[in-house]
A and B are shown apart, each in its own frame.
Chain A
Amino acid sequence: MAILLLLGGFLAILHFTLDQDAAKEENQKISVAICGETNDAFLQMGLATVQNLGNTRYSLALQTMTERQAQKALASGQIAAFVVIPEGFMDAAMAGQLLPLKMVSTVGASGLVSFFKEEITRVIGAYLAGSEKGVFGLENAISQNGYPVSDRLDSLAFQYLDHIAVRDRIYDLRQLGIADSLGLQEYLCCGLSVLFLMLVCLTFGPLHIGKDPALGQLLRAKGYRGQTLCDFAAYLLILLPLSLVFLPIFGLQSSASLQFYAVFQVLPVVLMAAAYSFLLFQLSDNLMTGIVMQFLLTVGMCFVCGCIYPISFFPAGVQKMADLLPAGLARMQLAGCFTGESTLAAALGSVGYSALFLGCSIWVRSRKTREVRL
Chain B
Amino acid sequence: MKKWPLLLWLLAKRLYKKPAFLALLLLIPLLAIGYRLSLTDTGGLVTVGLVQEAPDPLGEQIIQELTGEDSLIRYEVFPSAEAAKQQLSAGKIHAVWVFPDNLQEKIEKYAADPVRENACFTVWERTDNVALSLTREKLGSKVYPQIAQTVYLQYLRTYVPELAHLSDDALLEYYHNTAFSAELFTFGEAERTPEQENFLLSPLRGILGVLITLCGVAAAMYYLQDRQKGTFTWCRHQLLPELSCLLVAVVQLGIVALVCLMACRLSPNLLLELATLALYSLCVTAFSILIGRLFPSIKALAVALPVLAVVMLVVCPVFFDLGKLRIVQYLLPPTYYINAVYQPVYLGYMALYTALCGILCILIDKMKDSLR
A interface list, Cβ under 8 A from B: 2, 5-6, 9-10, 13, 16-17, 22-23, 27-30, 55, 58-59, 74-77, 83-84, 96-98, 100-112, 115-134, 136-138, 140-142, 144-145, 147, 152, 155-156, 159-160, 162-163, 166-184, 187, 195-196, 199-206, 210, 283-293, 295-296, 299-300, 303-304, 308-309, 312-318, 321
Q: Which residues of B contact A (CB under 8 A)?
A: 15, 18-21, 23-24, 27-28, 31, 35, 38-45, 47, 71-73, 85, 88-94, 97, 110-111, 114-116, 118-131, 133-134, 136-145, 147-149, 151-152, 155-156, 159-160, 162-163, 166, 171, 174-189, 192, 196, 199-200, 202-203, 205-207, 210-211, 214-215, 218-219, 221-222, 225, 249, 253, 298-299, 302-307, 309-311, 313-315, 317-326, 329, 338-339, 342-343, 345-346
- A residues within 8 A CB of B306? 6, 196, 199-203
| A301-B313 Cα distance, complex, nearest whole Å | 14
B175 touches A163 (CB 8 A): no
The SS class assigned to the A binding surface is helix
Task: Identify 8 residue pairs between A and B in the complex whose beta-carbon atoms are under 8 Å apart, listed by A's number.
Answer: A9-B311, A23-B129, A107-B196, A109-B206, A123-B138, A142-B163, A171-B139, A304-B35
Q: Indicate if the CB atoms of A110 and B321 lie closer than 8 Å.
A: yes
Known: A119-B72, A142-B160. A296 touches B24 (CB 8 A): yes
**Once the chains bind, are A176 and B110 in contact (CB under 8 Å)?**
no
Nearest-neighbour CB distance to chain A for B361, whole angstroms, equals 20
5 A-B pairs with the lowest CB-CB distances in the bound complex, closest first: A130-B148, A137-B175, A104-B188, A9-B307, A125-B182
Kindly list chain B residues whose C-beta atoms are within 8 Å of the C-beta of A107. Answer: 189, 192, 196, 342-343
The interface residues of chain B lying within 8 Å CB-to-CB of A2 are: 299, 303
Once A122-B141, A142-B162, A312-B94 are accepted as A-B contacts, the answer to whether A196 and B123 lie under 8 Å apart by CB is: no
B159 contact from A5, A131, A152, Cβ within 8 A: A152
Q: Count A/B pairs, Cβ under 8 Å.
A: 418
Q: Within the assembled complex, what's the spacing in Å between the Cα atoms of A130 and B152?
A: 10
Which among B18, B91, B111, B125 is the interface contact of A289 at CB below 8 angstroms? B18
Q: Could you tell me the distance in whole angstroms from the C-beta of A158 to the nearest C-beta in chain B?
A: 11
Given contact pairs A17-B314, A159-B151, enumerate 8 new A-B contacts (beta carbons under 8 Å).
A83-B185, A103-B188, A126-B145, A138-B155, A160-B151, A170-B114, A170-B120, A202-B305
Chain B, interface SS category: helix
**Considering only CB atoms, which chain A residue lies closest to B313 in the complex?**
A299
